[in-house]
């Protein structure tokens, strides 16, 4: 079980035979790497899954490989176009997940040097089209862990700045904190070649363009997002997990968040978040053990608004009325009044 979705193994994978699994998207949510939080966002799982299925369909138009096989209905696999109602599960080609072991106080990725195919690449690739308020870029520049030159910038950015060209960054995927790393370290720990790293970047930019165009139809600005990848049994690069959702992307509309950012914004003002940030600085591996308090529950009005936002976002990105909710613009107006 993951923090927001459950994984069911239908057929285990092996070195020779690809396995199959099924994701079931729940109404749980997670912020700041914490894992499961104390509330449920009604219908969030169905909205995220349906948006993801829509974007897998768009990838196929551009020749981008992915692991999604469709929605299992009885003995049949249904494509996005076959769906008559929103769903919260899809079946996918299963890849090996090799978690790095902790040795001598740090993560050991040596196992990846011997992997040839059919595995999850232990990286998250992040694209940035803008630098909105709340972006980790500003904190990392202030801390000195990120240089302007590495981002192709000649002067310090300001919140809300739109980039002349997208920036593509990379972080770890299977550590207790998603840790930003250089592309050279990414190549070393993942067992990828320089050419494969270049392909990773190029594919991310293609996906960024797809998400940007599709979300713009709903009046959304695609500020940034994350993509995950793996290799199939022939070592072809494939998109895995899910993409294009308000959890994987930071969407805005008229400067208002249309993503999980509405939940992050609420928690940033809490003592619990201060504890989390302090603990991460003290111990990057076992930081959760240092947090004494539990995350507080969301106010009821935030839970209701978040549920409506996810569902309206699904309706308007896909262009289909999956959920009976007001238009996104009306929901955002209410959120703006209550924020």
Distance CA 298, CA 292 (A): 19
User: Which residues contact residue 212 at a Cβ distance below 8 angstroms, ignoring those fewer than 6 apart?
Assistant: 129, 222
Tens of pLDDT, residues 10-38: 988 776 677 899 999 999 999 999 999 99
- According to DSSP, residue 66 is labeled B
What is the CATH classification number for the domain harbouring 11? 3.30.470.20
Number of domains in the chain: 1
Helix axes 261-268, 300-318, angle to 10 degrees: 160
Q: What is the pLDDT of residue 331?
A: 92
Q: What is the pLDDT of residue 187?
A: 97
Residue 334's pLDDT band, with cuts at 50, 70 and 90, is confident
Distance CA 318, CA 291 (A): 40
Q: What is the pLDDT of residue 2?
A: 66
Residue 335's pLDDT band, with cuts at 50, 70 and 90, is confident
End-to-end CA distance of the chain: 33
Tens of pLDDT, residues 30-81: 999 999 999 999 999 999 999 999 999 999 999 999 999 999 888 788 999 9
Kindly tell me if the per-residue pLDDT of 316 is higher than 70. yes
Domain span at residue 64 reads 5-338
Q: CA torsion sign, 290 to 292 to 295 to 299?
A: negative
Distance CA 334, CA 246 (A): 18
Residue 173's pLDDT band, with cuts at 50, 70 and 90, is very high
Residue 105, sorted as left (phi over 0), alpha (psi -120 to 50) or beta, turns out to be left
Kindly tell me if the per-residue pLDDT of 189 is higher than 80. yes
Q: pLDDT higher for 8 or 76?
A: 8
β 19-25/89-94 pair status:
antiparallel
Q: pLDDT higher for 271 or 338?
A: 271
Kindly tell me if the per-residue pLDDT of 339 is higher than 80. no
Q: Is 173 helix (H, G, I), strand (E, B) or coil?
A: coil
pTM beyond 0.85, yes or no: yes
Tens of pLDDT, residues 86-105: 999 999 999 999 999 999 99
Q: CA torsion sign, 202 to 207 to 210 to 213?
A: negative
């Amino acid at each position: 079980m993951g923090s927001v979705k459950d994984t069911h193994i239908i057929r285990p994978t092996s070195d020779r035979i690809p396995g199959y699994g099924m994701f079931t998207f729940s109404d749980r949510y997670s912020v700041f790497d914490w894992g499961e939080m104390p509330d449920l966002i009604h219908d969030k799982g169905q909205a995220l899954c349906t948006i993801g299925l829509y974007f897998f369909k768009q990838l196929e138009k551009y020749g981008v490989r992915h692991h999604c096989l469709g929605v299992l209905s009885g003995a049949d696999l249904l494509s996005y176009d076959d769906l008559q109602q929103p769903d919260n599960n899809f079946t996918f080609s299963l890849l090996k997940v090799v978690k790095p072991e902790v040795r001598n106080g740090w993560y050991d990725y040596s196992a990846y040097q011997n992997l040839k195919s059919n595995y999850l690449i232990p990286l998250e690739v992040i694209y940035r089209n803008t630098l909105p308020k709340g972006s980790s870029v500003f904190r990392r520049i202030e801390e000195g862990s990120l240089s302007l030159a590495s981002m192709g910038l000649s002067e310090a950015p300001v919140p809300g700045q739109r980039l002349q060209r997208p920036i593509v960054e990379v972080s770890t995927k299977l550590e207790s904190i998603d840790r930003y790393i250089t592309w050279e370290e990414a190549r070393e720990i993942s067992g990828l070649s320089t050419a494969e790293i270049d392909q990773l970047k190029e594919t991310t930019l293609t996906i960024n363009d797809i998400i940007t165009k599709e979300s713009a139809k709903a009046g959304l600005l695609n500020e940034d997002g994350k993509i995950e990848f793996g290799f199939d049994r022939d070592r072809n690069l494939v998109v895995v997990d899910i993409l294009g959702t308000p959890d994987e992307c930071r969407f805005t509309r008229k400067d208002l968040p249309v993503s999980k950012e509405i939940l992050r914004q609420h928690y940033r003002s809490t003592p619990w978040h201060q504890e989390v940030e302090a603990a991460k600085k003290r111990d990057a591996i076992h930081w959760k053990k240092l947090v004494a308090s539990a995350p507080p529950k969301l106010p009821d009005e935030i839970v209701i608004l978040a549920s409506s936002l996810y569902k309206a976002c699904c309706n308007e990105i896909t262009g289909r009325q999956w959920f009976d909710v007001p238009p996104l613009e009306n929901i955002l107006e209410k959120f703006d009044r209550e924020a």
